[in-house]
Structure 1
Amino acid sequence: MQVLKEEVRKKIIEAARKAFKKEGYAKSSIRKIAVQAEMSSGNLYRYYKNKEALFEEIVRPSYEIYQAELEKMKKKYEQREAEKERTPKYYSQIEAELIQFFKLKRDEMNLLFNYSEGSQFASAEQELERLTYEVTQDIFMTGKGKERLTHLEKSEAKLIARYLIHGIADLLNSTENQLEFEQLIDTHLLIYSTGLKAVTEENR
């Protein structure tokens, strides 16, 4: 009996993944998920009390790892003054584990970045964009040999940070082919690094 219940739970989770990806968290409903799972809404409610509980079960484990990786990045970022290492190469080393995580947990991160509006996880993408903006500003200051940035330079840093993170969000949802996705992510990061170097060295 327990095995049967576990199979039903897996079926519900798979149906919920498809429903959330098709319509997003906000527009999904228990009724739509039940239709996708080929069961009644009443039967589904025996396993999950609402769509929030379903969405949380799918994304929570990956979200907690994601938060831990962000925290790791923040701590290394805060050490930059003591370490005297504020270069794109240094930050690329910090971000390597996070990018690898995106590759491994692509489906969950796609839900978090592109389909979580209306849920408690809706700020996942913005959190990474804010941190990337701080890091990019720091790289600007080092690359341009400045202690403070102009309003224009801050705007450029924000634009580049937004390009990086929004680009990752788009790529998460771009192709079903995992190898192609990984290649696109690597290309995207290369373009980011090349553009960042060009802007920081301009008029130095």
Structure 2
Amino acid sequence: MPQRLKQEVRERLIAAAAAVFAEQGFEKAKLADVAERAGTSPSNIYKYFADKEALFHEVVTPSLAGKLLRLLRARVRELRSIGNWLTADARGSEPARALLSFWIEQRFAVLILLRGADGTRFAHVRGLMVREMTRLASRYMIDTQGEAALSPLMCFMLERTFTRTIDTIADTLGAHEDAPSIQVAIDLFWRYQLAGLQSLMAPANL
């Protein structure tokens, strides 16, 4: 008689895997840890998923990664139309609110994409996010100040700034589980970051 698989067990395994992958990263995560978190045996996982990679792809999907990048681009592009960047936090910016809501709703998956996807098809996403933010910021500087504003040193500073941005977002999502704490922490970070970016990038007459 064929074995009947339970949807509740499958969902519990996916939830446990999301937490373990977010904490340890794909490469270091063990199915034994997932099974322990889910309250079942490692052998039971193979009744539902072929291997660790198959389980990972239930947690992180191409559509989810694509949405993260689209929201991020909208957030950075918005700065072109805002005079005072200090108003571009979640209270004053719809793209900022949408991005923050996505980070909160998909906390584990975002954490994985930001620092735990090595060894998977999504390993490039972190670097792509840094490059996209740097590219859009560079385009803004060229459009508002001319090619001369984008010196090699400025390019270096933008790349390092946005790399640290990714690290700070990941650290925040990793350190806080509840939405209010994440919102407050990100608000504090944006207050600091936006002031610095405006000082660094914006034309002197803004």
Specify the TM-score bucket, using the shorter chain as the normaliser: 0.7 to 0.9
Change (3 A) 1:98 1:47: same
Distance in structure 2 (CA, Å) of the matches to 1:62 and 1:163: 22
Q: Which residue of 2 aligns with 1:188?
A: 189
Structure 2 counterpart of 1:133:
134
TM-score (norm 2): 0.76
Uncovered stretches (5+) of structure 2, i.e. residues with no partner: none
For residue 54 of structure 1, give the secondary structure of its aligned residue in structure 2: helix
Classify 1:54/1:90 alpha carbon distance in 2 versus 1 (closer, same or farther; 3 Å).
Answer: farther
Residues 13-162 of structure 1: pairs in structure 2 closer than 5 A: 13-60=14-61, 62-69=64-71, 73=74, 86=80, 95-96=95-96, 97-142=98-143, 145-148=145-148, 149-162=150-163
Q: Which residue of 1 aligns with 2:173?
A: 172
Indicate conservation of the 8 Å contact 2:169/2:186, yes or no: yes
> What's the CA shift string for 1:128-182, capped at 9, x where partnerless?
1111001222333355x22232111222222222232222122121222321111
- Is the alpha carbon distance of 1:67 and 1:200 closer, same or farther for their aligned partners in structure 2, counting shifts above 3 Å? closer
Amino acid aligned to 2:187: D
Is the CA contact (8 Å cut-off) linking 1:175 and 1:181 kept in structure 2? yes
Q: Aligned-pair distance for 1:9?
A: 0.7
Distance 1:166 1:36, change over 3 A: closer
TM-score (norm 1): 0.77
Provide closer, same or farther for how the CA distance between residues 36 and 165 of structure 1 changes in structure 2, counting only shifts above 3 A.
closer
Aligned AA (1:131): E
Unaligned runs of 5+ in 1: none
Q: Using the alignment, how far apart are the partners of 1:64 and 1:86 within structure 2?
A: 22
Distance 1:17 1:124 in 2: 17
| Structure (1 or 2) with the greater helix fraction | 1
Identity %, equivalent residues = 25
1:3 is displaced (CA, Å) by 9.2
More RCO (CA 8 Å, sep 6+) = 2
Distance 1:25 1:181, change over 3 A: same
Q: In the alignment, residue 20 of structure 1 is paired with which amino acid?
A: F
Using the TM superposition, name which of 90-99 and 193-202 deviates more.
90-99
